[in-house]
C-alpha cells in the first residue's frame, strides 16, 4: 500500500512504496519548496518555547500513530525486490513469481488491524495502554505502459478507533502518487508525494494536514533461495498545517526477509530516523524495530502478526517509547 505526506521547507521529495501483496507498488515525484523568511527578529526566536499544551500532545500522538501505520519501509520497495523464492516447492515458487509478475491496472485494497499500544498518548512516564482498531480502504490506478517504471496513483480512507482513549479517535484521508525504477542493477529509486488530512471523531473537525514529498534509495541483496536483505536511505519533506510540524526527515534502514515456507514470510526491520523541524527549535532522533509474520492464504488475501518498538529522543520534551503488537487481515482485488 501507499500513502502520502508532506513537509515544508527546503527542497526534497520522497515517498513511497507499496507492499506487493497488499496493493500497488510505489511511484514518485520530485518537488521543490522555498520557505519565506520569517519577520520575527532573531532575538525573539531565541526565547524558550512554551511547554506543549495537552491539545498539542493529543495531536502529536494522533499524528505519530498515523505515520507508524502508513510508512512501511520494511515492505518490498519494488516488484524486483519482493519475496524470496523457494526452490524446493515448485507450486510455492510459481505462487511467488506470480505475485511479482502481475501488475494490474487497478486495485482495491481492504485492510484491518487490531493491536495493543502501550503508550497511546506518547507519555514520557508510565502512560496508559490501550487497544486500537484501524480500518483502511485504498483504490489505486497502476499504469503498466511506462517502460522501466512502476507507478501508482491512489486514494485512501482510514479510521482509527481506541477502546478506552476515544477522545483520540480520528479519520485519515490521503491522496497521492508514487513511482519506482531501478538504476541498472545498482539500486532502486522510489519517489512520491502524498497529501493527508486528519479529522477528529470527537469534534468532527480537521486538526492536521500534511504533504509529504519523499525519496527512497534502496538495494536488496539475495542470500540463497530464502533470504533477502533490503537496506537504504530515505528522505521526506513535510509541509504541514499547523506549521509547527514542518520538517525534513532522514532515515537509514535495513532488514531481513525470510521465506519460511512458500506462503509464510517473516520480516525483521530496523530504522534510524532523524527529524529536523523547520519552524521551531526541535530535533528528534528515533530508533524503530519491527517484526512481521505474514501468511499468504491466496494471491488476494493474507493474514499477519506483528510487533514494533519505537523510542524517540527529542530536544523539545517529546521523549517517549511505544510498543505495538497485534494481528491484521489484508484483501486485494485487482482488475
pLDDT tens-digit series, residues 224-266: 989 999 999 999 999 999 999 999 999 999 999 999 999 999 9
pLDDT at res. 104: 64
CA distance 287 to 279: 23
Share of the chain above pLDDT 70, in %: 72
Look up the CATH number of the domain holding residue 169.
2.40.128.130
Residue 43 lies inside a defined structural domain of this protein: no
Q: What is the pTM of this model?
A: 0.75
Q: Could you give phi then psi for residue 316, rounded to 5 degrees?
A: -125, 45
pLDDT tens-digit series, residues 127-176: 689 999 999 999 999 988 778 898 999 999 999 999 999 999 999 999 99
Residue 1 lies inside a defined structural domain of this protein: no
Residue 101 has pLDDT above 90, yes or no: no
* Arithmetic mean of pLDDT, 47-51: 40
Beta-bridge partner residues of 190: 180, 216
> 218, 231 in Cβ contact below 8 A?
yes
Residue 239 lies inside a defined structural domain of this protein: yes
Residue 6 lies inside a defined structural domain of this protein: no
Question: Which of the 8 DSSP states describes residue 143?
Answer: -
CA distance 63 to 61: 5
Structural domain harbouring 197 = 20-36+55-334
Provide the number of structural domains found in the chain.
1
> 87, 96 in Cβ contact below 8 A?
no
pLDDT at res. 211: 97
Beta-bridge partner residues of 155: 139, 175
> 306, 115 in Cβ contact below 8 A?
yes
> 224, 256 in Cβ contact below 8 A?
no
Residue 18 has pLDDT above 50, yes or no: no
Reduced to 3 states, what is the DSSP secondary structure of residue 90? Answer: helix
Residue 100 has pLDDT above 90, yes or no: no
Residue 317 has pLDDT above 60, yes or no: yes
**How many other CB atoms sit within 10 Å of the CB of residue 80?**
14
Beta strands in the chain (DSSP E): 106-117, 130-141, 149-162, 170-183, 187-200, 206-223, 227-241, 247-261, 264-277, 283-298, 301-314, 320-334
Residue 125 lies inside a defined structural domain of this protein: yes
Q: Average pLDDT over the chain, rounded to whole?
A: 79
Residue 10 lies inside a defined structural domain of this protein: no
Residue 126 has pLDDT above 70, yes or no: no
- Which residue is it, cell 510508512? 71
Amino acid at each position: 500500500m501507499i500513502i502520502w505526506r508532506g513537509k515544508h521547507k527546503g527542497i526534497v521529495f520522497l515517498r513511497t512504496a507499496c507492499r506487493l501483496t497488499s496493493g500497488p507498488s510505489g511511484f514518485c515525484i520530485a518537488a521543490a519548496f522555498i520557505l519565506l523568511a520569517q519577520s520575527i527578529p532573531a532575538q525573539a526566536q531565541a526565547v524558550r518555547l512554551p511547554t506543549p499544551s495537552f491539545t498539542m500532545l493529543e495531536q502529536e500522538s494522533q499524528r505519530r500513530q498515523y505515520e507508524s501505520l502508513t510508512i512501511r519501509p520494511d515492505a518490498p520497495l519494488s516488484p524486483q525486490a519482493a519475496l524470496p523464492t523457494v526452490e524446493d516447492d515448485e507450486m510455492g515458487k510459481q505462487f511467488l513469481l506470480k505475485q511479482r509478475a502481475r501488475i494490474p491496472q487497478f486495485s482495491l485494497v481492504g485492510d484491518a488491524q487490531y493491536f495493543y499500544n502501550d503508550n497511546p498518548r506518547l507519555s514520557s512516564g508510565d502512560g496508559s495502554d490501550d487497544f486500537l482498531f484501524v480500518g483502511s480502504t485504498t483504490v489505486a490506478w497502476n499504469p503498466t505502459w511506462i517502460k522501466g517504471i512502476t507507478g501508482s496513483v491512489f486514494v485512501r480512507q482510514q479510521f482509527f478507533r481506541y477502546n478506552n482513549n476515544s477522545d483520540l479517535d480520528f479519520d485519515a484521508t490521503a491522496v497521492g502518487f508514487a513511482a519506482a525504477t531501478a538504476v541498472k542493477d545498482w539500486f532502486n529509486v522510489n519517489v512520491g508525494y502524498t497529501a493527508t488530512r486528519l479529522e477528529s471523531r470527537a469534534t468532527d473537525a480537521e486538526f492536521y494536514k500534511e504533504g509529504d514529498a519523499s525519496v527512497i534509495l534502496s538495494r536488496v541483496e539475495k542470500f540463497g533461495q530464502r533470504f533477502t536483505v533490503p537496506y537504504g536511505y530515505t528522505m521526506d519533506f513535510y509541509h504541514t498545517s499547523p506549521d509547527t510540524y514542518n520538517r525534513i526527515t532522514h532515515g537509514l534502514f535495513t532488514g531481513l526477509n525470510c521465506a519460511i515456507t512458500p506462503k509464510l514470510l517473516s520480516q525483521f526491520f530496523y530504522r534510524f530516523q532523524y527529524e529536523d523541524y523547520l519552524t521551531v527549535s526541535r530535533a528528534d532522533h528515533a530508533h524503530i524495530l519491527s517484526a512481521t509474520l505474514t501468511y499468504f492464504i491466496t494471491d488476494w488475501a493474507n493474514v499477519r502478526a506483528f510487533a514494533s518498538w519505537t523510542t524517540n529522543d527529542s530536544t523539545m520534551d517529546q521523549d517517549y517509547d511505544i510498543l505495538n503488537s497485534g494481528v491484521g487481515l489484508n484483501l486485494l482485488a485487482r482488475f
